[in-house]
Structure 1
Amino acid sequence: MFTKSTSKDRPPHWSNGTGTAFKNPWPSAKPPTWSEAFDLSFPFSLYPTLQKHSHARPIEVVKPDWGVASLEAQGIDKGAKDCVIGTWLGHAGALVEFTPLISSPSLMGENGKSVYLLFDPIFSERAGPTAYTGPSRFKKSPCRISDLPGCDAVFISHNHYDHLDLATVVAILKDFPRATWFVPLGNGKWLANTGIDAKRIQEMDWWEAKDGSFAEDGIFKSLPGDMQKGTAFKISCTPAQHNSGRSGLDGGATLWSGWAIERFTTSSEEDSAQPVRKGAVYHAGDTGYRRTTKSSVICPAFQEIGKRFNGFDLSFIPIWRGGSLGFISYMGLRLSHHDIPSALHCSPTDAVEIHRDVKSRNTIGVHFGTFIGSENESYDAMIEFCEASDQAGIVRLVGDEVGKNGRAGTLDLGGSFAVVVGEE
């Protein structure tokens, strides 16, 4: 099933003709120019007293309620409105619930059930090749895998240890053996070697899309011909500006990506009725946006995502470098992301730009606050994310109505946010 691909017209992100080596095809991913590098300052300094800043708050670890409090706070009745609920599980991990549609039955599977999608999960204490190596957690996981209310599909953005964790994969396979796994090119064989049935692994390239539904046996099945009356999902693999590798020898051997998930329904009795979108979610994976925070050359993929999908009800966008170089803040030093190359990890300000580019209505900032060296890193990320949102006219995620530029913010680990799909 996981054989080499071939293409007469090699995609620009392929490094060879067989689809077994990959690269970032944009100038925004190249090393800084000499002038840009010369413009960078010494990146280390002492941390100021960030915890006193009005936008700073400690990230708490809370027991997930899977959206109950968010629904109540916003006065949303998920039995009367079509909703999408996102829960941050720490780092880039997120669980998304597509609640049952009010007026449309499921095309395949049991009617009236939610669909649960899990993104980049990691529940281990360390993000590394063994249980004793790699960055360790600064914040505990808010729950166990067995606590999840469901898991119909798992989406992996790339194979770095903090996004594809062996112990987590094995545990999901044990608790949710019927889940379908979606991965970028080259990652299917690794998953199959963990014991996952190859029939439950969907390997995809950038801009590739699959239409289907989750059948009673849990397998994501493509729909025969045009969509019939009912509900179906469109799964799209989207570009990201990053890299891959689990050792020093396999860099770029597998693809990296983001994911766009759309739910459609056709409820009209007329055969000619067109599918109507009833919810769209975007997970950016791990990504950069420009060579340095001072560069004007940006990654064009996100504006293209915004054009192709015309916006998302809920997005998960990284706002920090994750656990990279966390030991520096552990020693009490501040590593300025404004003075190091940033092609692979977007800054909080860049995350706001991605929010705007992809036309997100509601964005949850992720990829921070978990595998870090000190709370200062969380404060740093939140302060800049809030300030950039304010400057862009983006209102707070919690406590504000959706403005013309959408909402954005951060949650506690285990916190949830609910949105009514398609509501401006």
Structure 2
Amino acid sequence: MQTPKRKASRPSHHANNSATAFVNPWPSASAPTWGELVQSSFPLGWYKDEHVRHEKARDLKVVKPDWGKASLEKRNLDTTKSIIGTWLGHASALVEIPSVNHSESKSTWLLFDPIFSMRAGPTVNSGVARFKPAPCQVEDLPGCDAVFISHNHYDHLDVPSIRSIMKRFPRTMFFVALGIQPWLSSMGVPKTQICEMDWWQNRESSLEDFGTEPPPASTDQVVFRFSCVPAQHNSARSPVDQGRTLWCGWVIERFLRSQDESSEAKASRRGAVYHAGDTGYRRTSKSDVTCPIFKEIGDRYGPFDLSFLPIWRGGTLGFFSSWGLRLSHHDFPAAHHASPADAIAIHLDVKSQNSVGVHFGTFVGSENESYEAMIELAQACESRSVASLDSQNEDDHGRAGIVDIGESLAVEIR
């Protein structure tokens, strides 16, 4: 009699065998202990003038994007040896990976968590409203070869933005985590243009996949590897679909592959980008239990030339600050959202060389929230010996900071 084969055990973040329900598998995402709650104070108070007057606080501007021109000139960088990232507000970012030499016809443009709408909600007239406008619209983008969605919350997966992208860039590819493909298909995105992945899965694409012809008589092939990586968050678009689709971050790597006379393929990495999506790091700010996955991401894929890291909570609770109230994340369970200090810890864990703080200042209730995020991010950089983005000094701990909405940062590929 044959012994029946056992089904392979499902991944720890799958809540069922059909990959239609998901969980965070780490203690850092669990409910806070009674001891941690006892250490916390009442989370609501009033904003005080020291946030406005603090030397690290400034008004967050919205500027017209120049797609890296000023940053390249300021840093005196060669375009072909650089990566250019433009923050478009909230978690949205457009990354340009220029051609490796001037003979190629175009750059590769990668768009993350796009939202250009005035509200993040189920309809154009509902949901959280923007405090800061978008710096541009889809028709203003210089290119969009691929879109990366971290999860299905309304402030990261926006119906009007997806439709505008498909109208302006009908051949763009969409990279999403498990469960989001049917939603995109319902929006009119062809299935052939959707790549759905689980954590740690990846897909390779060539320049030809994005409609770019390689240089004539070239023996080198440019290949991109897109990897879906874990994040500590959740998903839902209604009260009844909690955790039904997966959440993730994205790692983008470019390789230059050449063939020697023996025809053995050799590859050298020419650029790496990390977008963390939306993620937490610990149960509460006072908890010593942190998410281990970021060190694993750093060990597998780091170092990164450029990273985009969330530094603030979602906009749902922004109404508190619109009333002048301060909701302290130091005394509020925040397993699904990183604080500024957490973001710097993630920066170090993933071995990022340059990190831009995102997911703040856009869907908030007042400027006070932006001031608070800026101050705490600068303080965290100082305490962890992380240089500012303006620093010209080489440092093992890299650089981190903020840019204005619509501003670009050009970094040299290491």
Structure 1 length as normaliser, TM-score? Answer: 0.92
* Paired residue type of 2:101: I
Match of 1:267 in 2: 258
The CA deviation at 1:39 is 1.1
Aligned residue for 2:244, secondary structure, equals coil
Match of 1:168 in 2: 161
Q: Confirm or deny that 1:239 pairs with 2:230.
A: yes
Deviations 1:102-147 (A, max 9, x none): 28x8xxxxx3310000000100000000111111000010001111
Within the candidate set 338, 354, 379, 1:362 is matched to 354
Aligned residue for 1:69, secondary structure, equals helix
Q: Is the 8 A contact 1:30 1:343 kept in 2?
A: yes
Match of 1:39 in 2: 39
Deviations 1:290-346 (A, max 9, x none): 000100000011000000012100000000003130000000000000000010001
Deviations 1:76-120 (A, max 9, x none): 131xx42110000000000000011028x8xxxxx3310000000
Q: Is the 8 A contact 2:88 2:406 kept in 1?
A: yes
* Paired residue type of 1:322: G
Aligned residue for 1:151, secondary structure, equals coil
Deviations 1:2-50 (A, max 9, x none): xxxxx72200000001111000000000000111111110001111211
Deviations 1:355-398 (A, max 9, x none): 00000000000000001000000000010001001111111112
Match of 1:69 in 2: 70
Q: Confirm or deny that 1:141 pairs with 2:145.
A: no
State the distance in 1 between where 2:333 and 2:324 align: 21
Match of 2:115 in 1: 122
The CA deviation at 1:351 is 0.3
Count of residue correspondences? 401
Match of 2:84 in 1: 85
Aligned residue for 2:129, secondary structure, equals coil
Aligned residue for 1:324, secondary structure, equals helix
* Paired residue type of 1:267: S
The CA deviation at 1:273 is 4.6
Q: Confirm or deny that 1:179 pairs with 2:172.
A: yes
* Paired residue type of 2:223: A
Within the candidate set 325, 331, 334, 2:317 is matched to 325
Aligned residue for 1:278, secondary structure, equals strand
Match of 1:10 in 2: 10
Match of 1:108 in 2: none
State the distance in 2 between where 1:57 and 1:10 align: 48
The structure-2 alpha-carbon separation of the partners of 1:289 and 1:217, relative to structure 1 and needing over 3 Å to count, comes to closer
Q: Confirm or deny that 1:296 pairs with 2:288.
A: yes
* Paired residue type of 2:268: V
Q: Is the 8 A contact 1:319 1:351 kept in 2?
A: yes
Task: Report sequence identity in percent.
Answer: 56
Q: Is the 8 A contact 2:387 2:400 kept in 1?
A: yes
* Paired residue type of 2:157: L
Deviations 1:61-88 (A, max 9, x none): 000000000001011131xx42110000
The CA deviation at 1:213 is 1.7
Match of 2:59 in 1: 58
* Paired residue type of 1:239: P
Q: Is the 8 A contact 1:153 1:181 kept in 2?
A: yes
Q: Is the 8 A contact 1:101 1:112 kept in 2?
A: no
Match of 1:4 in 2: none
Structure 2 length as normaliser, TM-score? Answer: 0.94
* Paired residue type of 1:124: S
* Paired residue type of 2:73: E
Q: Confirm or deny that 1:203 pairs with 2:200.
A: no
State the distance in 1 between where 2:211 and 2:34 align: 52
Q: Is the 8 A contact 1:322 1:369 kept in 2?
A: no
Any unmatched runs of 5+ in structure 1?
Answer: 1-6, 106-110, 220-227
The CA deviation at 1:269 is 3.4
Q: Superposition RMSD on alpha carbons, in Å?
A: 1.6
Aligned residue for 2:65, secondary structure, equals coil
The CA deviation at 1:214 is 4.2
Q: Confirm or deny that 1:385 pairs with 2:377.
A: yes
Match of 2:97 in 1: 98
The CA deviation at 1:229 is 3.4
State the distance in 2 between where 1:40 and 1:14 align: 32
Any unmatched runs of 5+ in structure 2?
Answer: 1-6, 213-218
Following superposition of structure 1 onto structure 2, how do residues 326-341 of structure 1 map, counting pairs within 5 Å? Answer: 326-341=318-333
* Paired residue type of 1:373: G
* Paired residue type of 2:283: R
Aligned residue for 1:378, secondary structure, equals helix
Q: Is the 8 A contact 1:13 1:25 kept in 2?
A: yes
State the distance in 2 between where 1:274 and 1:310 align: 20
State the distance in 1 between where 2:64 and 2:335 align: 35
Deviations 1:393-414 (A, max 9, x none): 1111124334110000101000
Q: Is the 8 A contact 1:23 1:252 kept in 2?
A: yes
Q: Is the 8 A contact 2:145 2:172 kept in 1?
A: yes
Aligned residue for 2:93, secondary structure, equals strand
Match of 2:215 in 1: none
Q: Confirm or deny that 1:315 pairs with 2:307.
A: yes
Q: Is the 8 A contact 1:152 1:214 kept in 2?
A: no
Q: Is the 8 A contact 2:207 2:222 kept in 1?
A: no
Aligned residue for 2:251, secondary structure, equals strand
State the distance in 2 between where 1:46 and 1:11 align: 44
The CA deviation at 1:268 is 5.1
Q: Is the 8 A contact 2:145 2:210 kept in 1?
A: no
The CA deviation at 1:216 is 5.6
* Paired residue type of 2:55: S
Match of 2:216 in 1: none
